Amino acid sequence: MQRTILYGVLILFAYAIPVQLQSLRLSVGHVFVLVGLLSASGSGVDSMMIAAAISTLIGTAVHLTLMQRRDTSALRDWPKLAAPTVGVILSAYCFVTLFRQVAGIELTAPISTASAEHFGALILSSLVFLVVYSGAYLLLRLDALRSDESLIRELPPIVVVLALPLPLAILGGEIATQLGTIAELVFAYGAMLIVIALSGLGRAEQKLRDDLKVQQSLAVQNTMLVADQDSQINQMSLLNEVVATLSGTLSPDTLVDHIISCASVLTGAAGYAVYLNWNDQYLLARAVGLADVEFAAIPVPLVSLQPDEADRFDARPLIVSDIAKDPRAEMLRNAGIHHKQRSVIEFPLVAGGAVLGVLALYFTHSIDPNDRRLEVLRAFTTQAAQSLYNARQYVEANEAFQRNAERLMTLAVLSRSLSSSVDVGSMCEQVLDEVLSVTDAETGLLVLLDDIASTPQIGAARGIEDAQTQFASVIAALRQIDPASGAFVIRRDMHTVGMPPFLTEDSNALLIVPMVQASFLFGVIWLEHSSPSGFGAEDIRFVEQISNQAVIALENGRMFQRREADRERLVRLLDTMVEGIMMIDRQGDVVLANPRMSMVGLVSEDLLHTNFLELLEVEGLMFAERVGFTSREEAVAFVLHMDSYTEQHEATTYNVALPNGSQRAVERRIVPVSSSDRASLGLMLVFYDRTAQQELERSREELTNMIIHDLRSPLTAVTTSQRLLNEMIPKESPYWSVVESATGISRRAVKKILNRVDSLLDIAKMQSGGMLVERRSTDFGEIARSVIEELAPLAKELDIEVALIGDGDIPNIDVDSDKIERVMLNFIDNALKYSSKHSQVSIHCFPHAEADGFIRIEVRDQGPGIPENYKSRLFDGFVQVEGRRSARGGVGLGLTFAKLTIEAHGGRVWIEDNPGGGSIFAFTLPTASTPQHTAVSEQ
């Protein structure tokens, strides 16, 4: 039994030790089997066979178990493993049996009876035989194992050199001399095996087998490469499908679900968690595979707890191969994760230069950091991070678009609301409420500066208990605001002395937006927020947009209020006017009518906001006749050709029948109305009641005619009596001089009265257009000298010098000399009347520089001058400067006659101030075509 166990251990050990024979890995268990059989007694052969069989089965089972871990196909090849050893055992058994029969002796007999040297030779010969036999058998075994190189590939090689058959002949000869028959048999059997061995070791066959061996090795390597490539292709195909899945959505929530589902396909992990980074804070977005309690105990990823901040911005994963032992996984151990999970990998999701989140994968087995599948996972997480970045960008862009759309809608609604209102207070409240709603501010103040005095006024206030009490500090802050600085934000933690104050204690951020109009401060929007970061850049831009819109609307509201105030003042003014006013715009609508339109029989309320042409169609109104048109067609033409009235139209006087049956004389003037930029706004029709004036003029005309008729006859009789008196008193009479002087004075007085009577008559004729001017070429110098000569006694009496001062050559004038002489008499007489003693009245005549064909004549005095407001009125009939009375008096008709006469000749007359004091009465007269002559200056 002990021998059997010993043999079994020996055979099992030999079975596990491979031998490399000429680069061929072969088992040599049979060598030890033969050694044991040849050295055993005949009775031990059976024990040896049993031990060999059992050891072979045990060795085969152990070998198969080891090979199963690497290749399950080894189970199919166990006969190939056991067959060689079984074959060796059977061959050895047959050989020993044959040896016994031939030799007829037991192996133990020669060993026990022979001498020591005979025994040594026998052992040596047997060993040589066994080596030769084993080598031959192993060559035969090659074909059986050639196709299963993988089964013996893992065994370490031991080199054994096979001896040549030459020593076998020598040893055989030596044994033959000692043992006779046995040696011959050994020699003969060994020779046969040598022949077989030589045949098995042929070079051609050996080279072929070596080539086959190399090709087999290459085929195995190629098979492995193809399998590896197929695996990579499958992984890339799967990764492409994953990328397509991740790229198919821009919803962050859906994308997180896709990340977890794709990770499960790629990894087969036991648990998954996705953390998202919001403002440097990690939040668990989704968790699968672990209990809710476990995930609740790990609210943040491990990577966020590492002291090396650089890892957070690196896409390299954090690998914890053993959660139970790794010091970085303390949070997971505290959560009890290590009881179910062996390892964890956390992939930072990095894109756009920022960490967007972390993907955590939990495994039940340990993770090899060199596993090639990690590269696939890194590619997956890179794409997941980019998809998450794109989704966030899309969401942010979409949210920004929505905010902008909402704010644009808010601006549009606010614009319509503001444009439909003219109440400044209501608009201020709308603007402030809107900006408070958009910015979520709690406190707001809208301050307006008065457009006249620039005095701040509260337009609207929200969130302030007593705005008026704190308004003084706001006014002080407004003085520091530069309109060009734009909006600015002040946080309480950066507030310093001199900055605008906070109006409430709870406010931590202050936004001030100047409302600017044409570089001037129109007002201020003052907002306060409880959060220090309450006002973002978008809030500031939006409030500025509202501010710009509000400035326009508020200014329009102010303009409307000013316009309404002006209109009310205008209406009150028009209501107090004695003239009738009716204004028509460019469309023909009556936009203004005062109550005095009743003078022409019209009611102002019926006229307002009614088209002029529609009023013409009102039956029984007689609108055209009441506003001064002779027919309806003329009134229609007036409306259609309104653009032709660019200047004030000539007045029209007409009579209108009133509803009470009375007649009224009306003067109508058409005045064009234009804006400040001279754009036409329409026409204004002004109606004057001339009834009383016509009655007065009629009375005055009747009085004038009566005076002229009643005075002319007596004055003619006086003149005749004076002429008879002069004729009756001879010149030699001592009374001649007295009579001549008295009658001269009387003649001048009578002539003066007659001139006034004639002036009255001429004025009446010229105003009615019934007087003709008889023109002829006249020397103005003669007229001037005649006037000076006639007024010389009066000038001498007043001690005033009258002079004609010529200024070069002047042409004759084409005038009615009698009437122009009377004009000069009026001017000189008027100058003498108001001049002081020792002064001068001068007559100047020279060509008119501004109008060809006219001369300019000036009568200059050194009197008190004419006030500015009388320079144009003084030429009206019966008008005199108040407070000025001369010794000789007057009625105010001389200058009226002069003006009418000069204008009848085509000239014009005006009054200027004399630089040396006094006045200048200047007028122009047309020149004649006769040759010129020289005017002579005369004292």
- Return the top range by mean pLDDT from 138-142, 298-302, 821-825: 821-825
Q: Based on the fold, state whether residues 50 and 187 are members of the same structural domain.
A: yes
**For 47-64, what is each residue's pLDDT tens digit?**
556 665 666 666 666 656
Q: Is the pLDDT of residue 477 over 70?
A: yes
Q: Does the residue 210 lie in any domain?
A: no
**Mean pLDDT, to the nearest integer, of 495-523?**
80
pLDDT band at 207, cuts 50/70/90?
Answer: low
Note down the domain range covering 666.
Answer: 581-687
- Quote the number of domains for the chain: 6
**For 556-580, what is each residue's pLDDT tens digit?**
888 888 888 887 887 788 778 888 9
What gap in Å lies between CA 399 and CA 114, rounded to an integer?
111
Q: Is the pLDDT of residue 161 over 50?
A: no
| Among the ranges given (192-196, 459-463, 633-637, 689-693), the one the predictor scored with the smallest mean pLDDT | 192-196
Phi, psi (rounded to 5 degrees) for 266: -80, -30
CB 29 within 8 A of CB 15: yes
- The residues with which 512 forms a beta bridge, in sequence order, are 488, 526
Which has the higher per-residue pLDDT, 31 or 236?
Answer: 236
CB 430 within 8 A of CB 554: no
The angle at the Cα of 623, spanning 617 to 624, to the nearest 5 degrees, equals 95
What gap in Å lies between CA 739 and CA 745, rounded to an integer?
10
CB 139 within 8 A of CB 131: no
- How remote is the C-alpha of 917 from its chain's centroid? 71
How many beta carbons lie within 10 A of that of residue 714, not counting itself? 11
| Among the ranges given (154-158, 360-364, 808-812), the one the predictor scored with the smallest mean pLDDT | 154-158
**For 273-318, what is each residue's pLDDT tens digit?**
888 887 778 888 888 887 766 777 777 888 777 766 444 556 678 8
Q: Does the residue 403 lie in any domain?
A: no
CB 771 within 8 A of CB 762: yes
Q: Based on the fold, state whether residues 674 and 709 are members of the same structural domain.
A: no
Q: Is the pLDDT of residue 112 over 90?
A: no
Q: Does the residue 344 lie in any domain?
A: yes
What gap in Å lies between CA 287 and CA 297, rounded to an integer?
12
| Among the ranges given (386-395, 711-720, 847-856), the one the predictor scored with the smallest mean pLDDT | 711-720
pTM over 0.85: no
Nearest alpha-carbon partner for 553 in 642, 458, 430: 430
What gap in Å lies between CA 812 and CA 818, rounded to an integer?
15
Q: Based on the fold, state whether residues 41 and 67 are members of the same structural domain.
A: yes
| Among the ranges given (99-108, 339-348, 421-430, 450-459), the one the predictor scored with the smallest mean pLDDT | 99-108
Which has the higher per-residue pLDDT, 176 or 724?
Answer: 724
**For 751-770, what is each residue's pLDDT tens digit?**
777 777 777 677 766 666 65
Q: Does the residue 571 lie in any domain?
A: no
Position 515 scores a pLDDT of: 84
Q: Does the residue 893 lie in any domain?
A: yes
CATH of the domain at 868: 3.30.565.10
pLDDT band at 724, cuts 50/70/90?
Answer: confident
Name the 3-class secondary structure at 325: coil
pLDDT band at 331, cuts 50/70/90?
Answer: confident
CATH of the domain at 425: 3.30.450.40
Q: Based on the fold, state whether residues 649 and 730 are members of the same structural domain.
A: no
Q: What is the DSSP code (8-state) at residue 241?
A: H
**Mean pLDDT, to the nearest integer, of 687-703?**
82
| Among the ranges given (72-81, 178-187, 333-342, 462-471), the one the predictor scored with the smallest mean pLDDT | 178-187
Q: Which two tokens stand for residue 357?
A: 């989140």
Which of 511, 536, 563 represents a domain boundary (last residue)?
A: 563
Q: Does the residue 435 lie in any domain?
A: yes
Q: Based on the fold, state whether residues 680 and 820 are members of the same structural domain.
A: no
Position 182 scores a pLDDT of: 41
CB 141 within 8 A of CB 25: no
Q: Is the pLDDT of residue 783 over 50?
A: yes
Which of 185, 201, 217 represents a domain boundary (last residue)?
A: 201
Q: Based on the fold, state whether residues 179 and 95 are members of the same structural domain.
A: yes
Position 612 scores a pLDDT of: 93
Q: What is the average pLDDT value for the chain, to the nearest integer?
A: 73
Q: What is the DSSP code (8-state) at residue 836?
A: P
Q: Based on the fold, state whether residues 623 and 738 are members of the same structural domain.
A: no
pLDDT band at 389, cuts 50/70/90?
Answer: confident
CATH of the domain at 766: 1.10.287
Nearest alpha-carbon partner for 107 in 160, 41, 58: 41
Q: Which residue has the tokens 């001549």?
A: 740
Q: Does the residue 219 lie in any domain?
A: no
pLDDT band at 814, cuts 50/70/90?
Answer: very high
Which has the higher per-residue pLDDT, 167 or 881?
Answer: 881
Name the 3-class secondary structure at 352: coil
CB 923 within 8 A of CB 899: no
pLDDT band at 935, cuts 50/70/90?
Answer: very low
Phi, psi (rounded to 5 degrees) for 482: -95, 120
Q: Does the residue 233 lie in any domain?
A: no
Position 337 scores a pLDDT of: 83
Which has the higher per-residue pLDDT, 674 or 147?
Answer: 674
How many beta carbons lie within 10 A of that of residue 816, not counting itself? 19
Q: What is the DSSP code (8-state) at residue 771?
A: -
Nearest alpha-carbon partner for 376 in 512, 232, 273: 232
CB 866 within 8 A of CB 872: no
- Give the DSSP per-residue string, 788-821: HHHHHHHHHHHT-EEEEEE-S-B--EEE-HHHHH
**Mean pLDDT, to the nearest integer, of 223-231?**
68
**For 579-606, what is each residue's pLDDT tens digit?**
899 999 989 999 989 888 989 999 989 9
Q: Based on the fold, state whether residues 783 and 797 are members of the same structural domain.
A: yes
- State what percent of residues in the chain have pLDDT above 70: 69
Q: Based on the fold, state whether residues 682 and 591 are members of the same structural domain.
A: yes
What gap in Å lies between CA 303 and CA 344, rounded to an integer?
11
CATH of the domain at 648: 3.30.450.20
Q: Is the pLDDT of residue 69 over 70?
A: no
Q: What is the DSSP code (8-state) at residue 872?
A: T
Q: Based on the fold, state whether residues 812 and 907 are members of the same structural domain.
A: yes
Which of 363, 398, 433 represents a domain boundary (last residue)?
A: 398
Helix (H) or strand (E) holding 537: helix 537-576
Q: In what order do the strands lie in the sheet with 652-657?
A: 590-593, 580-585, 680-689, 663-674, 652-657
Q: Based on the fold, state whether residues 388 and 459 are members of the same structural domain.
A: no
CB 151 within 8 A of CB 64: no
Strand ranges in 2-49 using DSSP code E only, listed in sequence order: 18-21, 24-27
- State what percent of residues in the chain have pLDDT above 90: 12
Nearest alpha-carbon partner for 146 in 241, 219, 38: 219
Q: Is the pLDDT of residue 923 over 90?
A: yes
Q: Based on the fold, state whether residues 785 and 892 are members of the same structural domain.
A: yes
